[in-house]
Structure 1
Amino acid sequence: MKLQGIRVVDLSLFLPGPHLTMMMADHGAEVIKVEPPSGEPTRNIGLRKNGEAVWFRNTHRGKKSLCLNLKDEEQKAQLLALIDEADVFVEGFRPGAMARLGLDYATLSARNPRLVYCSISAFGQSGPKSQKPAHDLSIQAESGTVFLNEGADGEPCSPAMPVADMAASLMGLSGILMALLRRNETGCGDYLDISMQDSLVAWLPNALGPVFAENRSPVVKQERSWGGNAMYRIYRTADGRHLTLGGSEIKFAKNLFSRLGRPELAAACERPPGDQEEAIEFLKKEFAGRTLAQWSDWFEGLDVCWSPVRLLDEALKEEHLRVREMVFEDDAGNRHLGVPIKFLHEPAQVNTCLPKLGEHNQSFLASGQEI
């Protein structure tokens, strides 16, 4: 596997760091999760199956667990000895916390110059908000994406997805892999300052036309991506379900409106978003006249970007995801998320075993490694 022989020491908690290091474990890295005496918080958050929290299962498979109290000097010394042999170190504490513990990059890189050190924090290691505590919702609010998540009543909604968390996970993974690749040439590691807000803001290229071109915030429901385009929005069906049109290319509009017997309305879709009400109102009435199942049959074979709005359990049971191995079941009946990074050669080999808190403390000691 691609990361076989890479040792990762992970002090991060909750979602961004643990998700990042799980992806590394899936591809062969040895990931040593260092947990506080109380354990990784997600061991006890949300619903459980077969004794383990689903959240924990989907972020900690294939890892080893060390339970250490880093305020104890002896245990901290044991951790330092372990990091001396590591390739990657990941932490997700508020800026300054690692320095107070003597686990900052300057200290660790002096001991292990090859170490790739990744810090994930809400707002980064510098700037006026660096010490501000925040999780995903607050970061999305600060970054404008809660504003963009406007409901039908014009009020902002709580975002459905933790995109600041997940963006930071992917940015952190990308940065670590870049640093490991460069280390092959230089022999030296590096330090990554990953801000969840930076990572989220970097995902906004298609939303910034009004901001960068006209120095204003968008009128959300008039924008192409959020309801202003007839061919890129959500529509209600007769049974209270919904479907989406998700492709605004004019060829799709011509195909759809021709099939609906109103080919002239395709021209409305060539106007700017926010000026397509004629087409939108027609489609609202049309889609409200049949059930989602009836529309699924109607769209069969038609070259239009459309999709049903599936309930979450429906979506995760879909045959396509099973074929892609993005949802699979282990021998104990636990369902797992699969691996999205699919290599032809040396593909991931998922180890679904979960570590008990501190399970590997004694095994490391027994093997002669000081921890």
Structure 2
Amino acid sequence: MKLEGIKVLDLSAFLPGPHMTMMMADHGADVIMVEPANGVGEPARAIGQKTADGTTVWFRNIGRGKRSVALNLKDPADHALFMELAATADVVVEAFRPGVVKRLGVDYDAVRRINPGIVYCSISAFGQTGSYAQRPAHDMTVQALAGLVDLNRGLTDGKPASPNMPVADMAASLMALSAVLMALLRRGQTGRGDYIDLSMFDAAIAWTPNVTGPVFAEDRHPSVKEMRSFGGSAMYHIYETADGGFIVLGGSEVKFAENLLTALGWPELLGYARKPPGPEQAPLRDFFKGIFGTKSLAEWQEFLRNVDCCWAPVRSLKDAFDDPFVAERGMVLTDTEGHRHIGVPIRFQDEPGVPRFGLPVFGEKSARWREGS
């Protein structure tokens, strides 16, 4: 696998760091979770629904294929053990508030003194510098400050709603993976490691190219319900069916509007699809609202099956994972004990990732490493 021979020490918790290092483990990296010796360890071990064996689904999908050592980094012996592990590591990942690793004596400067080739990635809410650096935050507060919660306004009540996905967490996970791999690639050429200051806020801000137009071009607040991506486009919108189901039209290209309107017998409305998103497309949105309300979701799925346009029924997460297509793509996997796992999304033709479903028992390797074996 691509990352065989790469050793990772993961001090992070919850989602961004652990998800990133799990992806590395799926592709062969030796990932050692450095969990706090507090009797609990990784918080996700205890958060959310558990399967019959007592394991949380969250932990199963961030902890697989890793090893665990429980350390109290304030204890001199445990600190020495961490530094011993760091001396032979390729990557260190941490997600404390800025300044904590330095106080603990496990910061980048401390590690690179004994291992100049280390790639050290600090994931934090707002980065290591700047006026927000010490603010405590998780995903939703980061999204709020990054302007993303404001984009999640209801089209009828105009009020912001809780985000349905941890965008800041997952954007940080993917950006951190990219950064670590770039640093490892460069290290292969220079022999030198590097330090990565990865901010969830920065990662969230970086995911906004398609919605930043009003801000950069016109120096104004976005009017969410008029934007193409959030309901302003008739062909990029959610419509309710007669039985309370929902159909999404998800492609605003004029060719798709022409195909759909022709199939519906209303090609004369095509001109509205050529207008800018917002009030000028209101007649077409109203038409779709009316027409989709005349039949059930099943009837519309049958009608749209052979229409070349972007559409989909709104379905639950369970429905999505139960779709045979998810299994076809290997995005739901079942281990020998019958537990389901989220699959590996990075698909190589050569040396594909092979997830190892074993989960580390909290601190399972601590005694062995302390004994030097």
TM-score by length of structure 2 reads 0.97
Determine the C-alpha separation between the residues in 1 that align with 2:186 and 2:286.
Answer: 55
Residue in 2 aligned with 1:141?
144
Determine the C-alpha separation between the residues in 2 that align with 1:321 and 1:356.
Answer: 29
**How far off its partner does 1:160 sit?**
0.3
The aligned amino acid for 2:80 is A
Instruction: Please state if 1:246 is matched with 2:274.
Output: no
Q: Which runs of 5+ in 1 are unaligned?
A: none
Determine the C-alpha separation between the residues in 2 that align with 1:85 and 1:330.
Answer: 32
Q: How many positions carry a matched residue from both structures?
A: 368
Determine the C-alpha separation between the residues in 1 that align with 2:292 and 2:233.
Answer: 16
The aligned amino acid for 2:123 is I
Residue in 2 aligned with 1:110?
113
Instruction: Please state if 1:46 is matched with 2:44.
Output: no
The aligned amino acid for 2:11 is L
Instruction: Please state if 1:94 is matched with 2:97.
Output: yes
Residue in 2 aligned with 1:34?
34
The aligned amino acid for 1:2 is K
Residue in 2 aligned with 1:269?
273
Residue in 2 aligned with 1:16?
16
Instruction: Please state if 1:231 is matched with 2:235.
Output: yes
Residue in 2 aligned with 1:280?
285
Residue in 2 aligned with 1:348?
353
Determine the C-alpha separation between the residues in 2 that align with 1:72 and 1:113.
Answer: 25
The aligned amino acid for 1:52 is T
Determine the C-alpha separation between the residues in 1 that align with 2:80 and 2:107.
Answer: 14
From 199, 208, 212, the equivalent of 2:212 is 208
Q: Residue 81 of structure 2 contacts residue 369 of structure 2 at CA under 8 Å; is this kept in 1?
A: no
Determine the C-alpha separation between the residues in 1 that align with 2:370 and 2:350.
Answer: 35
Residue in 2 aligned with 1:289?
294
Determine the C-alpha separation between the residues in 1 that align with 2:369 and 2:237.
Answer: 55
From 148, 173, 176, the equivalent of 1:172 is 176
Q: Secondary structure at the match of 1:276?
A: helix
**Deviation digits for residues 216-239 of structure 1 (CA, Å, limit 9, x no counterpart):** 011100010000000001111111
Q: Residue 235 of structure 2 contacts residue 252 of structure 2 at CA under 8 Å; is this kept in 1?
A: yes
Q: Residue 232 of structure 2 contacts residue 281 of structure 2 at CA under 8 Å; is this kept in 1?
A: yes
TM-score by length of structure 1 reads 0.98
Q: Secondary structure at the match of 2:109?
A: helix
Cα RMSD of the aligned pairs, angstroms, is 0.9
Equivalence map 1:311-330=2 (5 Å)? 311-330=316-335
Equivalence map 1:37-76=2 (5 Å)? 37=37, 38-49=40-51, 50-76=53-79
The aligned amino acid for 2:22 is M
Determine the C-alpha separation between the residues in 1 that align with 2:232 and 2:16.
Answer: 33
**How far off its partner does 1:311 sit?**
1.0
Q: Residue 228 of structure 2 contacts residue 236 of structure 2 at CA under 8 Å; is this kept in 1?
A: yes
Residue in 1 aligned with 2:85?
82
**How far off its partner does 1:363 sit?**
3.7
Q: Secondary structure at the match of 1:48?
A: coil
**Deviation digits for residues 277-324 of structure 1 (CA, Å, limit 9, x no counterpart):** 111000001111111111110011110100111111001111111100
Determine the C-alpha separation between the residues in 2 that align with 1:165 and 1:153.
Answer: 27
Instruction: Please state if 1:6 is matched with 2:6.
Output: yes
**Deviation digits for residues 101-132 of structure 1 (CA, Å, limit 9, x no counterpart):** 11111111111000000000000000000000
Determine the C-alpha separation between the residues in 2 that align with 1:28 and 1:47.
Answer: 28
Aligned residues with identical type, % of pairs: 55
Determine the C-alpha separation between the residues in 2 that align with 1:290 and 1:70.
Answer: 63
**How far off its partner does 1:365 sit?**
4.7
Q: Secondary structure at the match of 2:8?
A: strand
Q: Residue 125 of structure 2 contacts residue 138 of structure 2 at CA under 8 Å; is this kept in 1?
A: yes
Q: Residue 237 of structure 2 contacts residue 249 of structure 2 at CA under 8 Å; is this kept in 1?
A: yes
Determine the C-alpha separation between the residues in 1 that align with 2:312 and 2:186.
Answer: 42
**How far off its partner does 1:362 sit?**
3.1
The aligned amino acid for 1:258 is T
Determine the C-alpha separation between the residues in 1 that align with 2:165 and 2:368.
Answer: 38
After the TM superposition, list the runs of 4 or more consecutive aligned residues in structure 1 that deviate by more than 4 angstroms: none
Determine the C-alpha separation between the residues in 2 that align with 1:265 and 1:198.
Answer: 42
Q: Secondary structure at the match of 1:354?
A: coil
Equivalence map 1:190-209=2 (5 Å)? 190-209=194-213
